[in-house]
Amino acid sequence: ESISTLSSLNKSLQLIWVVYAVRGCSGLALPVQRITALQAAHSWSQLFQEKGVSEPDLSSRYITAHVLGAKTFESVKAETLSEPLCPEKTLQIWKLCAKRLKRMPVQYVIEEWDFRDLTLKMRPPVFIPRPETEELVDIVLSDLQKESGSLSILEVGCGSGAISLSLLKSFPQLRAVALDQSEDAVHLTKENALSLGLEDRLQLYHLDILKDAEIILNSCSGVSAVVSNPPYLYTEDMLSLQPEVLSFEDPAALDGGADGLTVIKQVLILASQILLNHGRVYLEVDPRQPPLIQQWVESHLQALCYVETKQDFNNRFVLSQMLMS
């Protein structure tokens, strides 16, 4: 009986703590009566909108669906959405939504996100993969599938592992080397590789391309492709980022220097030294940068030939190719 009383007291204290935590950021107090998932999602969506949280409806729906064990709100059965939530699930929704109210990205709040056909673990401050990067993976895959035999790639700036792991899963003959300047990113990529059973074909390094170029050269040579979604934002644009990005994601994964090309240039230099003949480098860049990159490659890297800018809706993908020596 004493154990039961202690358990009830602990739950009550948890509820009180969440009420204070949520109220501290002008949130919603926990409901006195049981409510449905629909009501919870609607209430938080309204508050998110009032407080200027981006994508208020999607945010509340993703969080509610996650607590219910689903990927999306739409995939939850209508009867489940209309049933009163148990106190534990209500508490969980309130805790997670309180984090979102503080502008934590949904991906970090629910600690996972889908990228192509993978579900990846997410954790701050590791860079969150964007939907447009899925198109970059499609472009790389399209080219790799034209090749025969075993192939290898180098990814610079692996983040959560989204690009390398997607390529490895889709292309069984492929091996990948991935590196990142962030130890958090390397650890998270390793976790995701292990959970997906892809660790045997992946080599991971905690290395900074701006500082460790020689070590990278000694660790990796003769690759078929270099792939990178590097930091390409202009430094002056950093302060205009949404709070979700500015306050939670690693600035080193975003800030590309005064012209946005600091890391991009180093990736291209490295690619010119380690690519096999006719190997390619694939970059996701700012829409303003392709002409600048083409001019720089033609002026500084005789071993590389600028191939083209692949267009998504914003001209974001640059391809260069290694010339036959």
Which residue, 72, 102, 132, sits at the end of a domain? Answer: 102
Dihedral sign of CA atoms 212, 215, 219, 225 in order:
positive
**Residue 107 domain flag:** no
Same domain, 87 and 212: no
Rounded CA gap, 283 and 244, in Å?
24
Angle between helices 87-101 and 56-67 (to 10 degrees): 150
As to burial, measured by CB atoms within 10 angstroms (0-12 exposed, 13-18 middle, 19+ buried), residue 5 is: exposed
pTM exceeding 0.85: yes
Q: What's the structural domain count of the chain?
A: 2
- Is the Cβ–Cβ distance between 243 and 172 less than 8 Å? no
User: Could you tell me if 208 and 284 lie in one domain?
Assistant: yes
User: Is 109 within a domain?
Assistant: no
Inter-residue contact 222 to 208 (CB < 8 Å): no
Domain contains 249? yes
Look up the CATH number of the domain holding residue 174: 3.40.50.150
Tell me, yes or no, whether 271 and 306 share the same domain.
yes
- Do 31 and 120 lie in one domain? The reply is no
Q: Please identify, among 37, 72, 102, the residue that sits at the C-terminal boundary of a domain.
A: 102
**Does one domain contain both 139 and 269?**
yes
59/197 same-domain check:
no
Same domain, 57 and 143: no
Where among 102, 131, 147 does a domain terminate? 102
Mutual angle of helices 37-50 and 87-101, in 10-degree steps: 20
**Per-residue pLDDT of the chain in tens (325 residues, 90 and over written 9):** 444 544 543 444 344 444 444 444 457 888 878 999 999 999 999 999 999 999 999 999 999 999 999 999 999 999 999 999 999 999 999 999 999 999 999 999 999 999 999 999 999 999 999 999 999 999 999 999 998 888 999 999 999 999 999 999 999 999 999 999 999 999 999 999 999 999 999 999 999 999 999 999 998 879 999 999 999 999 999 999 999 999 999 999 999 999 999 999 999 999 999 999 889 999 999 999 999 999 999 999 989 999 888 877 666 777 777 654 3
- Same-domain status, 247 and 208: yes
Task: Domain of residue 121: give its range.
Answer: 116-322
CA dist., res. 257 & res. 43, Å (int): 41
Q: Does residue 134 form part of some domain?
A: yes
In a domain, 39, yes or no: yes
Domain presence at residue 271 = yes
